[in-house]
Structure 1
């Protein structure tokens, strides 16, 4: 595989999953990790990605979302955001994380619709605060610099004191067989705590991530109440999830 093809694949993986590990890219591309590191260095120098320990992250994680067209799959994420607003009820308490799909959702919440949000993402808090009708609290702790989410035992302890109506999560990987998964152990622990603190959980997931599995399991699919993608509900890709009993929007 020539370098130009590798760079396109690496950039797509980072755009899709927000964070990638050099070891995973090495396996995917069937090249050495040294080759991957050189490729990532070139993408960093072109200001296309941000280098982190062990891999790289999407540059959108390091700034507040301003223009939807700057985001990978922006049109699909707008559709997901609009569908997700169907779950909103007045005066709900909602736990919410970060990521570009979640930030898109934040910008589609009806104006002056009374809601109370708790979020582990400073960027999501900023996006939510633009709507005068909502109350926003951040669940604080150590800022995880690879995801720009608050993680750690302090966050998990704070979440134990919350009884939310709804938890809204993005997905790094989601499948019927292995459920919701991620590549970072600290993030997995926080998302588990978010789900445990909520009556219902909805996954906001671009369809390209369906039927994919990451290293660490957050939850079995049976614990997911809603799956929201950009696809119509009659899509064959969604049938296994509907058959499994998940409410698909």
Structure 2
């Protein structure tokens, strides 16, 4: 977590906040205060203004991306061309008859949109928005792993969900990530979400992380797993891009 230039104008500060929201889906007021070198009161005022403008969803201790919601307009998705390329690559991993665990987020949304119409597979998800979108597909089976629902992010979490996940033997797990780094691995800012992601990975034979390359080298406070715990890293870049020089280790395949 790096401190950025201080004494930014309000519009520059709010643009920085929206950049963090677009990249990481969730931001904490305390972290933003440290990065921008301003008080949490200032951050709260900025978040309130941005929420009133409909740019984000204000929650206790921070803010969430609006993209969690089912009625979110795809044409306003951050880095949509890049996420479409990622989704096209990820679709190639899904085979007929598979049991697939999927998370939430705008990249997963593009993946679901690109699923072949004749695909027959079973999808398990803790994301209410992903489940609803999958319900529009004509031939896949959809199993929503429900439990305690976090209203703003529309993700189910908690012991009941983890218990259900533990009973599944999936072929593939496809997850987005809030941050990824060579040394820190996959990290997140929400403890309950981290516990569910860990369970989903453990219940799957292989795991694919889908992320735009802008997140490479970024870190958040809570660790999901090491890079060695995932099988595929899928970005919009070609696998031979120099940015991956330290990533293709421990059996990790770059797509």
TM-score range with shorter-chain normalisation?
over 0.9
Kept in 1, the 8 Å contact 2:182–2:247? The answer is yes
Matched with 1:248 is 254
Q: CA deviation at 1:147?
A: 2.1
Contact 1:111 1:131 in 2 (8 A): yes
Deviation of 1:28 (Å): 0.9
For 1:1-12, what aligned pairs fall within 5 Å after superposition? Answer: 1-12=8-19
> What's 1:206 paired with?
212
Alignment of 1:131-150 (within 5 A): 131-150=137-156
> What does residue 182 of structure 1 align with?
188
Task: Give, in whole Å, the separation in 2 of the partners of 1:42 and 1:159.
Answer: 39
CA contact (8 A) 1:64 1:126 kept: no
Q: Which runs of 5+ in 2 are unaligned?
A: 1-7
Partner SS, residue 87 of structure 1: coil
State the TM-score, normalized to the length of structure 2: 0.94
Q: Distance in 2 between matches of 1:16 and 1:72?
A: 8
Residue 83 of structure 1: aligned partner: 89
Superposition pairs of residues 32-181 of structure 1, within 5 angstroms: 32-65=39-72, 67-181=73-187
* 1:192 pairs with 2:198: yes
Large movers: runs of 4+ above 2 Å = 62-65
| Secondary structure of the corresponding residue to residue 175 of structure 2 | strand
Partner of 1:236: 242
Q: 1:13 — aligned with what? A: 20
**How far apart are residue 134 of structure 1 and its match?**
0.7
| 1:7 and 1:39 in contact (8 A); partners too | yes
Partner residue of 2:30 out of 23, 29, 35: 23
* Unaligned residue ranges in structure 1 (runs of 5+): none
Q: Distance in 1 between matches of 2:175 and 2:196?
A: 11
Scaled by the length of structure 1, what TM-score is found? 0.97
Q: Is the 8 A contact 1:93 1:165 kept in 2?
A: yes
**1:74 CA displacement:** 0.8
Give the corresponding residue for 2:222. 216
